[in-house]
Every structure is written in C-alpha cells, then in structure tokens.
A and B are shown apart, each in its own frame.
Chain A
C-alpha cells in the first residue's frame, strides 16, 4: 500500500508545496536513499558486474539490472573505463498498475512534475519517479569504487509506461554510442545508463575539447 500512498501524496504535495517544491523533495529523497545504502568497493569491473548480477550492489534495489558486457566503454587510450547497464522493468511500473487497478487514474501531478523537471532541469523524465531514481543512481555511483576509483552514472535513455521515450544525447556523445542503438535497447529494457570511472578521459569529452 505504501507505493499507492506515495502516489496519493504526490498530488497532495504538489498542491501544498507546488510542483517545484515537490521536485526538490524528490531530489533530496534520491540523495538520502543513496546515502543510507552505504559505500561499496570492488577489485575490478568483473567483480562489480558479478555482484550486480547476484543482486548485491545498491543498484539492485531497482530490480533486475543487466550489465551489457558487450558494450564496454573505453577511454582515449582504449582502456575499459565502464559499461552500459539496462534495467529490465521501470521501478514505477508496478505502482502504476496497482494504482490503475485499485484507485483508477494516476494523479495529474505525476505528469506535471515530470514536465516541470524536463523543462527546468534535464529532459529525461518519463514520470515523476524518474526524478528520485536518476538522482539516486548518480549518488549511488559516487559511493561505489572499482579498483579504488569512484564511479559516475550517466543516464542515457528511458521508456515510459505509455511507450514514450527520452534519450540524453549529451551523455550518448560522451561515451560515443549511437542514438538509434540505444533506442533499440529500449525495446527490451525500460531504462539504460552507463557507469564509468569518474574522471576518465572519454572519447566524446576529449573530442569536444
């Protein structure tokens, strides 16, 4: 019931604190959630990817996250500095269905909050929960080290419940992945992101310089 209570709270919150106020709350929740999960350290990418597969990392709270190990990200020297990951099912989808079958319609605030976030922050949200989720991922990545190096999460693309998609072209350019390729990943996955070593000299970033 907690998730349905949250949906009910969204409408209430946006009426009391305004849409912008709710976004601020959501960003703080994403940050706090990541902080409360604690830090993790791995010897290398293989051990991290195994931990992810076995559901032992903080990212596992999202559901089934798949490491697309054929999509390694390399830096300007050709060293592997990251991978692309995909979430099979949107974390908010069960809630959307549960609301649909117990209450009816999602509150209007869901779309209003996502639209406001897309206009004022980054154009990547397909529902209001993306705000918590994306922030959570970015903060969790900072708490994970691989071979002593902290990670950085780059959000790439997501697909909403009604099939609408959002693609972050700026991040795609950084890691040098084709937009249409990522779009094709969205046929099988709800959300695609990259984890790279923080400070890595990515090809896209260097060519921009």
Chain B
C-alpha cells in the first residue's frame, strides 16, 4: 500500500478491484482454467518486466530494503524478515479486493480455486486462489531483476493463507529443505501462519 499523499495511503478503488476479478472470470469462461492461469502468469511477468533492476552490495542491505518497502519485491506488500532468508507477507495484497468482492458481489465462483489447483499441479503447489498465482509469479520474476553481491536472487514459496483462513503449505517432501533454508522449524512455521498471509524464502543463486 503506497503512502504518498501526505501520510494517507492511496487505496485502490473497489470498482477497479472487482472489475479485475470479473475480467479474469470472463477470460476463464472462454479459455478455462488453463487459459486463465496463462493470463495471470503473463500479467505478473509483464508487471515484473516493467519494474527497474536492483543491485545491493550486501545481503543485509537487500533484506533491509525489502522490509522497508524499497525493493521491487515489496512494492505491493508489507514484508517482514523472520530470518536471513525467510520472509513473511503480513497481509495479502489482494485482501481489499477480496473483501470488496465478497461484500458487494457475493461468494467467489469456484473457478478462482480451480485455476489455483491447475497452477499447483503444474508450477508450485502453494496457491489457494487467483491472486496467489499473480503474486507468486511476480515475486519469482521480480527476484530475477535483483542482484546481491553479484548473485541473482531466487524465491521459493513455503505457505499461503487465504483471507478466509484456509492454508496451503508446500508438500511434506519439500518442506524439510525449504524450512532448513528458511532457518525455521515446522512449529515456528505454524506460529507464523497464525497472523501472516504468506511465508516465502529469498536466497542467492549458486
């Protein structure tokens, strides 16, 4: 959430948010879950492409920029660092749109979850609904534009919590590796998930 006009945050208009959801549903009607998934990923890639490149001289300064909202990785979400590599998104960047849709239109159609299942089966199994596909693809694509100490940054997702409280955690067989990289235990992960919207890791490429 940007804070530019004085100290007031510039909040998106509910009509624009809901129109976006309906637009995506329209695409899904015509092209199915696969087509919608392609559109979501494609728009996240274009968004990342339009962002400037970044370079940092140390990992600490990079994490600091992410937490302060100065990096392209935190341009659309409030991020906290739990450890050197483990990041948490405090509130889903789609929460406002989600609330407005449920308030003014009603329950989300099933397609938003179906497309996430499609994404989970083919890309990374940590999405619950359409918004997660956008943000997860964006994070990965944006990370490729960041260099820390001469190395590219990589992103991997551990878990997501939907505004309705449903959770999606990476498969059991992946979890030990991801948690080791994140430097947190499984219990700590569950603790973090109580009051955050996503847990993900950033790490330098080898």
**Interface, chain A (partner B; CB < 8 A):** 1-6, 8-9, 11-12, 25-26, 28-30, 32-33, 36-37, 61-63, 91-95, 97-98, 101-104, 107, 129, 132-133, 136
Contacts and interface: CB of A to CB of B under 8 A. Distances in A.
B2 A3 contact: no
Given A9-B23, A102-B76, A3 B16 contact: yes
B16 A6 contact: yes
B2 A5 contact: no
Contacts of B19: 6, 29-30, 33, 129, 132, 136
A33 to B, nearest CB: 5
A135 B81 CA distance: 44
B134 interface: yes
A27 to B, nearest CB: 11
Interface in B8-47: 10-23, 25-26, 39, 42-44, 46-47
B123 interface: no
Contacts of B5: 97
Given A5-B43, A6-B16, A9-B46, 19 more contacts: A1-B93, A1-B135, A2-B17, A2-B21, A3-B16, A8-B46, A9-B20, A9-B43, A12-B42, A63-B15, A91-B13, A91-B15, A94-B11, A94-B12, A95-B16, A97-B4, A97-B10, A129-B16, A129-B19
A8 B94 contact: no
A6 B51 contact: no
Contacts of A30: 19
A97 B9 CA distance: 11
6 contacts: A4-B76, A8-B47, A30-B19, A33-B15, A33-B22, A104-B52
B206 interface: no
A61 B23 contact: no
Contacts of B21: 2
Nearest to B106: A36
A5 B47 contact: yes
Interface of B: 2, 4-5, 10-23, 25-26, 39, 42-44, 46-47, 50-52, 75-77, 93-94, 96-97, 100, 104-106, 131, 134-135
B16 A12 contact: no
The residue in B4, B14, B16, B50 that gathers the most chain A C-beta atoms within 10 A of its C-beta is B16
Contacts of A91: 13, 15-16
A7 to B, nearest CB: 8
The residue in A5, A36, A61 that gathers the most chain B C-beta atoms within 10 A of its C-beta is A5
Q: Which 7 A-B pairs have the closest CB atoms?
A: A1-B93, A1-B76, A8-B47, A3-B12, A2-B97, A6-B20, A91-B13
Binding site secondary structure of chain A? helix
Contacts of B46: 8-9, 11-12
Contact of B20 (A2, A11, A104): A2
A138 to B, nearest CB: 14
Contacts of A95: 12-13, 16
The residue in A9, A26, A30, A102 that gathers the most chain B C-beta atoms within 10 A of its C-beta is A9
Given A25-B23, A33-B22, A102-B75, A9 B12 contact: no
Contacts of A102: 2, 75-76
A62 B15 CA distance: 6
Given A3-B20, A33-B18, A101 B4 contact: yes
A36 B47 CA distance: 29
Nearest to A22: B23
A91 B13 CA distance: 6
A97 B106 contact: no
Contact of B94 (A1, A32, A92): A1
Given A62-B15, A98-B12, A133-B15, A37 B104 contact: yes
Contact of A3 (B13, B22, B104): B13
B76 A29 contact: no
